[in-house]
Amino acid sequence: MTDSVVDAVSAVPQQTANGQHPATSLGTAAARNLATTTKSVPQMQEITSRWLLKVLPWVQTQGGAYRVNRRLTHTVGDGRVEFSVEGDAVRVIPTELGEIAQLRGIEDESLLAELAGRFEQREVRAGEHLAQEGRPVDGIHLIAHGRVEQFGAGPFGDQSSLGLMVDGDHFGQEILTEDAPTWDHDVIAATPVTVLTLPAAAVAELVERVPELAAHLDRFRAGRSAKANKHGEAAIDIAVGHTGEPDLPRTFVDYELAPREYELSVAQTVLRVHTRVADLYNQPMNQMEQQLRLTVEALKEQQEEQLLNNREFGLLHNAALNQRIPTRSGPPTPDDLDELISRRRKPEFLLAHPKAIAAFGRECTKRGIYPSTVDFNGHHIPAWRGIPLLPCNKIPITSARTTSILCLRTGEADQGVVGLRQTGLPDEYEPGLSVRFMGIDEKAVMSYLVSAYYSVAVLVPDALGILEHVEIGR
């Protein structure tokens, strides 16, 4: 073997016992010990777009409460009744009968219990009549489960749909205060329906036997005789189209004596950071700032959740009953959104769960309709009739795979929906949100109290509408 060949063989790296060649340079694992790693700030999957917090106009709320003054309204009740279920038996909760306008204000629980006990349960097949136009009203009917549709004669002799009724709705209550009333439209079950009925004979027997009930219904009739506009507000007398010099009506605008007040709610937590962490591990990122940033993000997510779902002031629980409409067939169709939009003036945006938006897109695709998009705050957002359809995953989806779509008008100037908060708080971190140092304990842990104060108010009922029972599974 020549010297050149020997040199070439010796230059080839020799394999180690495990079959790998020995390293000939510094490896990356060792090199990283001398390098500064490029890092991102801590990421968080919980963060969402939070469109509701962005689009609501916020009103400065001094004193922690916001009073919504309105004209005096004569209409009461007209709410939805709730039921208890035991196996196949469905019973109306006695106190829930107060949601029927004529029965609101009855404080005698034994009387309410007796009324509730007289309701009879029956099952109605799809397509069966619950009421027929022209026939006597046979009792008070409560829809426990299912969907019924109301039909009346149209202007050209055809049948026109007058709307849908769903769980908790009721009809026939006029039998309590009118003599021999008759149905003025048909009521037909659109699906199998469970209905509870208080027969007319039972109503007559109770009114005759219980003086307290008769007196209460007399007071209701007297209250209904007060003049009111179509919204139930105390009327303002105005002379129109008169000639000569007649005596003009004297009037005034009456206000509600006990207007609703919204108190600011609070979301709080205590952020704890060890002083050793803050002292020694503060580069290249400030540990306190990052801990606080993520805590505030979680607090805002909870704030939006409460603005929608809180039973005291949340939008889903504070929409007027006449501003809640069910879908016609289950999935959200263009017809349903048109109905929702048309019931209010100057609708500004729609708010829906992303899955509801996808379901609406499928219904549009079936019809060969392609919704437009609009530029909304620098984002391309799907829209219907030019109204942005904003996603919000805080709107709940029920076990039956149904959800809701909200339509809002906002701002005090337009008598809309407004967010409430108080600014100028001690140690304010953001408007309506404060971070207060609570001290260092004996374990050298620093504590900070993080607080957010907020609420939301609906100034007039038609500022908020809800499309209910939106099916997303079809």
pLDDT at 13: 54
Instruction: Reduce the DSSP state of residue 267 to 3 states and report it.
Output: strand
What amino acid is encoded at 415 in this protein? Answer: Q
Could you tell me how many residues make up the chain?
Answer: 474
Instruction: Output the CA angle 363-365-369, nearest 5 degrees.
Output: 100
CA nearest neighbour of 90 among 142, 16, 33: 142
State the first-to-last Cα distance of the chain, in angstroms, to the nearest integer. Answer: 82
What amino acid is encoded at 121 in this protein? Answer: Q
Q: Write the CB contacts of 57 (distance below 8 Å, at least 6 apart in sequence).
A: 410, 411, 412, 418, 419
pLDDT at 8: 47
Rounded Cα gap, residues 400 and 368, in angstroms: 28
Rounded Cα gap, residues 360 and 472, in angstroms: 8
CA 182 to chain centre: 36
Instruction: Reduce the DSSP state of residue 112 to 3 states and report it.
Output: helix
Cβ(390)–Cβ(327) below 8 Å: no
Rounded Cα gap, residues 30 and 32, in angstroms: 5
CA 321 to chain centre: 12
Instruction: Reduce the DSSP state of residue 446 to 3 states and report it.
Output: strand
Rounded Cα gap, residues 453 and 456, in angstroms: 11
Please give the helix or strand (H or E) that residue 116 lies within, else none: helix 109-117
Cβ(444)–Cβ(294) below 8 Å: no
pLDDT at 355: 95
Cβ(199)–Cβ(139) below 8 Å: yes
* Residue matched to tokens 């080839």: 12
Whether pTM exceeds 0.85: no
Rounded Cα gap, residues 78 and 267, in angstroms: 33
Cβ(418)–Cβ(408) below 8 Å: no
CA nearest neighbour of 90 among 168, 171, 174, 205: 168
DSSP state of 43: P
Rounded Cα gap, residues 140 and 219, in angstroms: 20
DSSP 286-321: -HHHHHHHHHHHHHHHHHHHHHHH-TTT-HHHHS-G
CA nearest neighbour of 251 among 227, 222, 221, 224: 227
E strands, 298-401, where? 324-326, 349-352, 373-376, 379-384, 387-391
Cβ(206)–Cβ(119) below 8 Å: no
Cβ(407)–Cβ(350) below 8 Å: yes
Instruction: Reduce the DSSP state of residue 187 to 3 states and report it.
Output: strand
pLDDT along the chain (474 residues), means of 10: 49 58 74 80 88 94 88 59 79 88 85 90 90 91 89 77 85 89 90 90 89 88 64 66 69 70 93 91 86 93 95 90 84 93 92 95 92 89 94 92 94 94 93 94 94 94 91 84
